[in-house]
Amino acid sequence: MRLPGPRQDGDGDRGSLTLMLAVMFVALLALAGIVIDGGAKLNQAENAAAIAQEAARAGAGMVNQANAYTHGSFTVDHGSALPVGTQSIEVTVTVTGPTRVLSIVGIDSMTSTASATASLVTGVTGPQA
């Protein structure tokens, strides 16, 4: 027969490993979400910047050809590009992409915005020979 008293067989720690594993799983899942979706966000921001730069370059190339050939001055064809002042064009691009891991906690998409400006340059600029 056993006498009542404090337990000596270690049953007081029963289930603590399960709780610790649950907390560690949530922490590792959050870390994986930050690493995977954070990397995708950086890649998306880089793509948005590249798209904005290419669009600004293309917009700067939209000069009014008739005016360039007749008067020798390069002006933007306002129907083809939106100028910022008279000598540059600014383009802003917004890219939205889905998340892979963070959608588990309700973050379903990420948005990256980038801007680029291209100057309208006439002739060749560079060192004089």
Query: The pTM is what?
Result: 0.62
Which residues make beta-bridge pairs with 91? 116
Residue at 82 is within a domain:
yes
* Residue range of the domain that includes 24: 20-119
Interatomic CA distance for residues 5 and 44, integer angstroms: 64
For residue 104, is pLDDT > 60? yes
The CA-based angle 112-35-37, given to 5 degrees, is 35
Residue at 12 is within a domain:
no
Residue at 6 is within a domain:
no
For 74, list phi and psi in degrees, rounded to 5.
-100, 110
For residue 30 the two structure tokens come to 């959050």
Q: What is the pLDDT of residue 98?
A: 94
Asked whether 108 and 99 are in contact (CB, 8 A), the reply is yes
Read off the pLDDT of residues 14-42 as tens digits, 9 standing for 90 and up. Answer: 767 888 899 999 999 989 999 999 999 99
